[in-house]
Amino acid sequence: MKIQCSSVKICGKLLRTENLSQILEAAGSSMQNIVKLTVFMTDLAEFSKLNEVFMEIFPDNQPARSAVQVSRLPLDTLVEIEAVATL
């Protein structure tokens, strides 16, 4: 699943929403089962802000993460997150 956002704050809000939880639950999983996040950002200088959001969402068991700076994302979003979860 992928989440596209226009700002780090919006992306954090999207990660916290029930929408992502509902997608995972529909697939037979949950937020606690996310094992890997791949973050595509147009400005890696913003990664520390996103990392703070991740620590709030995953206070105990943080999934593995990788971040890649890209020149442009679809719909001119600033952040795109791909999540992998176990079933």
Tens-place pLDDT, residues 28-87? 998 889 999 898 899 998 888 888 878 878 888 899 999 999 999 888 878 888 889 999
Go through the domains of the chain in sequence order and give each one's CATH number.
2-85 (3.30.1330.40)
Say if residue 7's pLDDT is above 70: no
Reported as a single tens digit per residue, the pLDDT across 58-69 is 888 899 999 999
SS3 string, 23-82, reads HHHHCCCCHHHEEEEEEEECCHHHHHHHHHHHHHHCCCCCCEEEEEECCCCHHHCCEEEE
Distances (CA, A) of 26 to 18, 51, 84: 12, 27, 14
According to the model, what pLDDT value does residue 27 have?
92
Q: Percent of the chain having pLDDT more than 70?
A: 78
